[in-house]
């Protein structure tokens, strides 16, 4: 890997590593040369790569601060942060408001707590990169046609917090720009997950919405994250990089 694209000697902290994309991310970051620490409420399933795990509750600021202090004591710095944590308690439009509030506690308040605590830590060293994993559902409205004839449906909280994430990224990029800390987002489209097969009718319709005619594989998303963390992206901040097979450009 060319040096500019390498994460060699970088300490990268990833929030959210137990899901299909999360596991692909941590493996890719390790493969790019980073020392990877995955933080979450519980350790993810074991990975082939030697990746460290730390416990944290991002809805509690003191827990995020304690994580920062542990990492700085152990490594002396954090070079990059990937925010892939997500809580999806809503199952439909008419859910009790408690589900919406639970979603926002992680996906909005938790995001800001992590960004501020670790953004400040990187700003103190005048270097660093923060990458938030958003979604094309933060860029477009719901398309009910995709789900007709299936049990699948959209939920409002996901559209709300993924869109908010994109503008918070722009705000944070402005806030931290003078300190040398870059803040960007990656917005994946639909990702195939062998553990959760999707209905054939959905797959066919979704393919028609993209330029490449299909959903993504997880490994096709992670390269964008590695790039934004690397020195090759040293003049990129405040950006949102869709990785969606052309869905939002069509």
Active site residue 235: no
Angle, in degrees to the nearest 10, between helices 111-125 and 156-176 = 20
CB 186 within 8 A of CB 225: yes
C-alpha distances in Å from residue 10, one per residue of 13, 26, 124, 180, 247: 10, 13, 16, 16, 33
75 membership: H or E segment, kind and range: helix 61-75
Torsional sign, CA 51, 57, 58, 62: negative
- Residue among 147, 158, 171, 206 flagged as catalytic: 147
C-alpha distances in Å from residue 54, one per residue of 16, 119, 222: 11, 18, 21
3-state class of 19 per DSSP?
coil
How does strand 80-83 pair with strand 11-15?
A: parallel
Classify residue 105 by its DSSP letter: I
> How far apart are the C-alpha atoms of 203 and 134, rounded to whole Å?
21
Tokens for 231, please give them.
């020195």
Sheet-wide strand order for 52-55 = 52-55, 35-40, 11-15, 80-83, 128-133, 181-188, 240-243
The residues annotated with a catalytic role in the active site are 147
């Amino acid at each position: 890997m060319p040096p500019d694209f390498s994460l060699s000697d970088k300490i990268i902290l990833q929030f959210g590593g137990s899901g299909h994309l999360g596991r692909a991310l941590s493996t890719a970051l390790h493969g790019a040369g980073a020392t990877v620490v995955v933080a979450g409420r519980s350790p993810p399933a074991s990975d082939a790569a030697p990746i460290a795990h730390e416990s944290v509750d991002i809805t509690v600021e003191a827990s995020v601060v304690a994580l920062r202090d542990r990492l700085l004591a152990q490594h002396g710095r954090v070079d990059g942060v990937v925010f892939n944590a997500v809580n999806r308690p809503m199952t439909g439009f008419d859910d009790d408001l408690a589900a919406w509030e639970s979603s926002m506690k992680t996906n909005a308040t938790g995001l800001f707590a992590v960004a501020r605590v670790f953004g400040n830590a990187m700003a103190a060293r005048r270097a660093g990169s923060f990458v938030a994993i958003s979604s094309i559902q933060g860029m477009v409205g719901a398309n009910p046609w995709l789900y007709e004839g299936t049990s699948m449906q959209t939920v409002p909280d996901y559209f709300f917090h993924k869109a908010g994430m994109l503008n918070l990224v722009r705000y944070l990029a402005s806030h931290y720009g003078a300190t040398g800390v870059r803040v960007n987002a990656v917005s994946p489209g639909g990702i195939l997950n062998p553990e959760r097969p999707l209905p054939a009718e959905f797959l066919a319709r979704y393919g028609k919405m993209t330029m490449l005619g299909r959903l993504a594989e997880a490994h096709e998303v992670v390269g964008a994250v590695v790039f934004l963390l690397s020195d090759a992206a040293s003049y990129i901040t405040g950006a949102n990089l869709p990785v969606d097979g052309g869905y939002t450009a069509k």
